Structure 1
């Protein structure tokens, strides 16, 4: 069995890149992070496989400059399993492919029942992978041998899987569907920073009033600052439930805060001054957060019949039509058209022509193949809804 080692020396790294440049065909790429352990989503291991040269495991923190790898493989196809998860971490290293093939996304388009890497490898190649280290702390050094074996297997078979799935795409006439999906994944811009990210605190709905929210915000900001400083996942320092419990307890002194039973975590007591100061800042804050936040989310579909009966009729007629088309194509409905896209079209429809519907779909991010498969069907359903004398009665899925 191959003994895998982590390359952390710049000279060894450049030699490995030269070998990869001389390899054959596309490259398989994967990334291991330390989600749930570290503050960032940075890569702590990059795995690369290319035919004729084998598997290489690279240590990003030790190597630093990855430009030799980009130069070596940047212009060939990179094969991923769930590329959208790995591309942000790779781009932090200035690693950016010119084109990609995503075996997970392609498996969805093909209608596979199970699309995890182990399931896809077993279905296409008959090889069983063990996935016991997927949630490990990959910032650990040195990495255990069993972890390295696991990491290598994530890329070792991926090119063979890619070839098998590419053939299946051809058989189902879905090669162009996949090409457009891969291009859209590659072109997806980074997510913009969330407005008021502190509002994602689990259990925040229990906090009442603007002042209480100001304290919760201050506690969250203090935890983020400390987590970034320590390069530790915020929830490992003080869990969300503990921050919310401290806010709800409304302690009147630092000692009272220390006595809150549910205020637990690695740093709840060792950083008591930090948390108490955060509570004080929240109590003294002059700019209070809004209690209710408006957004562009649509009302839940169950409320449409009362709030917008015309939209309700459109959705109830169009949704089963799109679902039937997805079934005919043997793929999940959400891969044919995002449910939110159909809801938005039903709530505020364009002119009921194929051209207008196609433009609206494109504006909402649908790809050309999705528009071709759904635009006219949605128009027909919306027209039928407008002509129906009674609201359509179709069971909601």
Structure 2
């Protein structure tokens, strides 16, 4: 493995930027967060490698702004593996590519059976890449040397991997497909603001009644506020199961809450006043949550036969037909067309199910041109077949 430079001061940063700017070709980029340890999803290490300049590991909290680096590489192709996982934290510090090459996404389009970085490197480059530090707490300081070696190797292999993957895309005629997918990743809003995020509590379905839901909401909010204040992953303070247990039981006093065996976690007793105050707010509030959030959610496919039999027949016919197309293209069916997109078109198709109308409906749902070209005709034919199947029993009865 080539060497690397750990960049922890402003002066070293500016020298690194100058070196990177003098390099050639695309820039390999990776970022390490402290998911599961910290509340924030900020980058605690940013790795760059460019041919002709070397490998640099940047310490974002120590460096501050990255305007100079963005100016140096903003118009250069960036190589990332699973770009959607890193773009948000990179953009947070002012690093935003204008074009990318995503080796993980390309591997999916090529039909590789395993698309993790270690698996793709081993399959295409014949090298073993250990991933023992992928789930480490990267907010640790100082970072252990073995972690830094691991982080450097991730980006040092990316240029060679990119070249190999690009050649395979050209050989398979999928280069244009990949470029459309890369552009879609760049244009996608990666930070999703959810209504009622507390409803994502694991096990919330076991909490019955709006009053108990109000308690669950207040407990979640109290935990989230504390987690944000301390920059600690919420589940490390009190796990979801504990909040749900308290909401389900509705203890009548602080002492009863403290005695609740299921209410555990490192902050379950040290912050007992906080949790009890949240329960009291939930028990007293007049702002009661709805049992379910109204929205455009469709029923699960297993309920379609009863709720919308015609749509059920359309979906079954189209799923089989689209799966055949994905097999011919040698890629996962979800990369050819997302299951949600197909379900939405099947549930409420355009008035005319001719291919051009199906194509328009797919485009409105965010399908890329190559996906539309590959599936619109097939879906149209499947819908026709499903509709014919729906009327055959009536014809037979007459």
State the TM-score, normalizing by the size of structure 2.
0.96
> SS at the partner of 1:29?
strand
SS in 1 for 2:244: helix
1:340-369 C-alpha deviation (Å, 9 max, x unpaired):
111111111111122211110001110000
Mapped to 2, the partners of 1:318 and 1:331 lie a distance apart of 17
Cα offset, 1:374, TM superposition:
0.6
Asked whether the equivalents of residues 246 and 257 of structure 2 are also in contact (C-alpha less than 8 Å), the reply is yes
Contact 2:21–2:72 (CA<8 Å) still a contact in 1? yes
| Cα pair 2:198 2:217 within 8 Å, conserved | yes
Q: Secondary structure at the match of 1:262?
A: coil
More displaced 10-residue stretch of structure 1: 169-178 or 337-346 = 337-346
- Where does residue 52 of structure 1 map in the other structure? 52
CA distance in 1 between partners of 2:17 and 2:47 (Å): 12
* Separation of aligned partners in 2, 1:115 and 1:354: 33
Query: Equivalent residue of 2:78, what SS?
Result: strand
User: What is the Cα deviation at residue 158 of structure 1?
Assistant: 0.3
Pairwise CA distance, 1:384: 2.0
Q: Give the distance between the partners of 1:236 and 1:94, measured in 2 at CA.
A: 29
Aligned residue number for residue 341 of structure 1: 341
Distance in structure 1 (CA, Å) of the matches to 2:383 and 2:309: 13
Residue 215 of structure 2 contacts residue 247 of structure 2 at CA under 8 Å; is this kept in 1? Answer: yes
Question: Which residue number in structure 2 is paired with residue 256 of structure 1?
Answer: 256
CA–CA distance in 2 between the matches of 1:265 and 1:198?
18
SS in 1 for 2:383: helix
Matched with 2:325 is 325
Is 1:215 equivalent to 2:219 in the alignment?
no
CA distance in structure 2 between the aligned counterparts of 1:230 and 1:164, rounded to whole angstroms: 44
- Give per-residue Cα distances to partners, 1:97-154, cap 9 Å, x unaligned: 0100000000000000110000111111111100000000000000000000110111
Please state whether the residue corresponding to 2:72 is helix, strand or coil.
helix
In structure 2, the residue matched to 1:384 is: 385
Q: Counterparts of 1:278-317 in structure 2 under 5 Å?
A: 278-317=278-317
Describe the shift of the 1:254–1:389 C-alpha distance in structure 2 as closer, same or farther (beyond 3 A): closer
The Cα of 1:322 is off from its aligned counterpart by 0.6
Give the corresponding residue for 1:241: 241
The residue number in structure 1 matching 2:204 is 204
User: Is residue 369 of structure 2 the alignment partner of residue 368 of structure 1?
Assistant: yes
Following TM superposition, by how much is the alpha carbon of 1:190 offset from its aligned partner in structure 2, in angstroms?
3.6
CA drift of 1:93 comes to 0.6
Question: Match for residue 355 of structure 1?
Answer: 356
User: Does 345-354 or 167-176 show the bigger shift?
Assistant: 345-354
How far 1:24 moved relative to its partner?
0.7
* Structure 1 segment 126-205 matched on structure 2, within 5 A: 126-205=126-205
Are the counterparts in 1 of residues 4 and 54 from structure 2 also a CA contact under 8 Å?
no
Whole-Å separation in 1 of the counterparts to 2:52 and 2:4: 16
CA separation in 1, counterparts of 2:68 and 2:361? 43
Query: What is the CA distance between 1:385 and its match in structure 2?
Result: 2.0
Q: 2: CA distance between counterparts of 1:26 and 1:87?
A: 16
Change (3 A) 1:192 1:116: closer
Residue pair 1:5, 1:148 contacting (<8 A) in 2 also:
no
Q: What is the match of residue 39 of structure 1?
A: 39
Q: What SS does the aligned partner of 1:26 have?
A: strand
Q: Secondary structure in 2 aligned to 1:344?
A: helix
Q: Deviations over 1:24-67 (max 9, x none)?
A: 10000000000000001000000000001111000011111111
**Corresponding residue SS for 1:288:** coil
Structure 2 contact 5–55 (Cα < 8 Å) conserved: no
The question of whether the paired residues in 1 share the 8 Å contact of 2:310 and 2:390 is answered with no
Structure 2: give runs of 5+ residues left out of the alignment: 394-398
1:309–1:391 CA contact under 8 A, matched in 2: no
Deviation at 1:4, TM superposition (A): 4.2
- Please name the residue that 2:396 is paired with: none
Whole-Å Cα distance in 2 between the matches of residues 369 and 70 of structure 1?
A: 31
1:8–1:58 CA contact under 8 A, matched in 2: yes
Deviations 1:288-342 (A, max 9, x none): 0011222322212222222211111111211111111110011111111111111
Closer, same or farther: CA 345–376 of 1 in aligned 2, 3 Å: same
Do 1:313 and 1:391's aligned partners in 2 also have CA atoms closer than 8 Å?
no
Q: Which 10-residue stretch deviates more, 253-262 or 382-391? A: 382-391
Q: Distance in 2 between matches of 1:385 and 1:261?
A: 54
TM-score normalized with structure 1 length: 0.96
Greater alpha carbon shift after TM alignment, 263-272 vs 159-168: 263-272
1:247-281 deviation per Cα after TM superposition (whole angstroms, max 9, x unaligned): 22322221221111111111111111111111111
